[in-house]
Amino acid sequence: MVEIVPLNKKWNYLRKILERSGPFQQETFEPSGEILEFLNNTCKILVIGAGGLGCELLKNFAMMGFKNIDVIDMDIIELSNLNRQFLFRRKDIGKSKAETAAEFINKRIAGCKVTPHFCKIQDYDESFYRQFHVIVSGLDSIVARRWINGMLISLVKYDDDGNPDVSTIVPMIDGGTEGFKGNARVILPTLSPCIDCTLDLYPPQVSYPLCTIANTPRLPEHCIEYVKVILWDKENPFNCALDGDDPEHLSFVFEKAQERANKFNITGLTYRLVQGVLKNIIPAVSSTNAVIAAICASEVFKIATSCYEYLNNYMVFNDIDGIYTYKYEAEKNPECLACSSKVRTIAIKNPSSMTLQDLIDYLCNNPEYQLKNPGLTTTLNGKNKTLYMSTVKSIEEQTRCNLTQSLHELNLSDGQELVIADVTNPNSIIVKLKFTDNEVEMY
């Protein structure tokens, strides 16, 4: 028989924390019944991602008294999701993750309202993100993390003395998992280190030289990339772009990659590896997701209620060999691309030999920048000039010739400022070129 809990006792476990004093409470905390009312009726939470972490987070928040929750995710449900993303069922395959997760929570938790957004985070502007009290990130993309990080920084207003107005700061709790390892961090935009401040913690995206893929493959990944990059466009088997979610496309890639692997005596090729390479899949473990989501939810609760000191500011979890966890305080980077007003300087040893393509490659491969697809503009003789931009076809065609020209040929001088737009940040960044004869390691 199911025990029916009276409505007035539903949140008793929260009242014990919020309506009485404790030895670990913040000095400014004043126990009150109004705090629970704030959680239930006023506090708005945005969960970014409805995957492994997102499902856990939505469940946690709904059962912790947060009734106004939004969730945003651009993905659809796949069969491989069902082993850990427990808000979905087989009948949901092909449906929106955000919409399905919201429907499940709304039906299961009385009084909870989860509003889904089946789109990219980039589809919304500042007015959308400004309405939330706390934002929780359960993303598996560094690019998306950096974009929302830049967006929240842009929301912060400053007073006449240049100090940030704390009332305009929207805290972000960022969680991430990979196999049996995970991390959680608390980010107060402009006050604490942001995603870009610790960008060197994220390894640059793995890429394989085209010459290796085409001529001397050594790894099964090389064989998969060969089919993806070269063979697919050459044979065009389905008269469409390669879709990593289409079983027929996956089977074609697997068969052709296996043929190439056999030709070069390469072992270790599997169907799962094909999926992983094509979709850049990160290993996921349910228990790790549950632990990191629980930590993130606890930090949101502490920030929303001010009942306890929140994490300052980075926590690492590892249960490969037993359970190991520790926390530390990361430091702000005074030259951070996102939260610092200081212009970054790029040292150029030989501007006569360094081409614009070399500069773009440097911005993409350097751990301190890790840009994805930068567009560069500058000011020459008082006029704006687009050096290169690939996102607009007509502009890309007009500026493509600049890629092979040296910085000198483009009339770029020492101290030249470049304005860079990239998908990793909703705002443009500025870098300054510094020509030097000193030895500078660019790669």
* Residue for token pair 């305080």: 329
Residue 206 has pLDDT above 70, yes or no: no
Least confident of 113-117, 158-162, 169-173: 158-162
- Mean predicted confidence (pLDDT) in 127-146: 93
- So what's the pLDDT on residue 26? 85
With a pLDDT cut of 70, the percent of the chain lying above it is 94
- So what's the pLDDT on residue 209? 65
- When pLDDT is cut at 50, 70 and 90, the band that residue 325 belongs to is very high
Residue 62 has pLDDT above 90, yes or no: yes
Residue 207 has pLDDT above 80, yes or no: no
Residues 6+ apart with CB under 8 A from 400: 388
Quick check: is 307 catalytic?
no
- Mean predicted confidence (pLDDT) in 327-336: 91
- In SS3 terms, the chain reads as CCCCCCHHHCCHHHHHHHCCCCCCECCCCCCCCHHHHHHHHCCEEEEECCCHHHHHHHHHHHHCCCCEEEEECCCECCHHHCCCCCCCCHHHCCCEHHHHHHHHHHHHCCCCEEEEECCCHHHCCHHHHCCCCEEEECCCCHHHHHHHHHHHHHHCCECCCCCECHHHCCCEEEEEEECCEEEEEEECCCCCCCCHHHHHHCCCCCCCCHHHHHHCCCCHHHHHHHHHHHHHHHHCCCCCCCCCCCHHHHHHHHHHHHHHHHHCCCCCCCHHHHHHHHHCCCCCCHHHHHHHHHHHHHHHHHHHHCCECCCCCEEEEECCCCCEEEEECCCCCCCCCCCCCCCEEEEECCCCCCEHHHHHHHHHHCCCCCCCCCEEEEEECCEEEEEECCCCHHHHHHHHHHHHCECCCCCCCCCCEEEEEECCEEEEEEEEEEECCCCCCCC
pLDDT tens per residue across span 364-395? 888 888 898 899 999 988 889 999 998 888 89
- So what's the pLDDT on residue 1? 47
Count of alpha carbons within 13 Å of 54, Cβ hemisphere only? 32
- So what's the pLDDT on residue 281? 67
- When pLDDT is cut at 50, 70 and 90, the band that residue 237 belongs to is confident
- Mean predicted confidence (pLDDT) in 314-327: 92
Q: Are strands 425-435 and 417-422 parallel, antiparallel or unpaired?
A: antiparallel
Least confident of 99-113, 201-215, 279-293: 201-215
Active-site residue identified among 194, 211, 240, 401:
211
Q: Which comes out higher in pLDDT, residue 72 or 246? A: 72
pLDDT tens per residue across span 71-104? 999 999 988 788 889 999 999 999 999 999 999 9
Residue 202 has pLDDT above 90, yes or no: no
Residue 38 has pLDDT above 60, yes or no: yes
Residues 304, 305, 308, 314, Cα dihedral to 10°: 0
- So what's the pLDDT on residue 65? 92
Residue 238 has pLDDT above 50, yes or no: yes
- So what's the pLDDT on residue 200? 79
Residue 438 has pLDDT above 60, yes or no: no
Q: Which comes out higher in pLDDT, residue 351 or 276? A: 351
Residues 122, 124, 128, 130, Cα dihedral to 10°: 40
Tokens standing for residue 320: 């490969």
pLDDT tens per residue across span 256-268? 999 999 999 999 9
- So what's the pLDDT on residue 341? 79
Rounded to the nearest integer, the mean pLDDT of the chain is: 89
- Mean predicted confidence (pLDDT) in 331-359: 89
Residue 183 has pLDDT above 90, yes or no: yes
- So what's the pLDDT on residue 5? 45
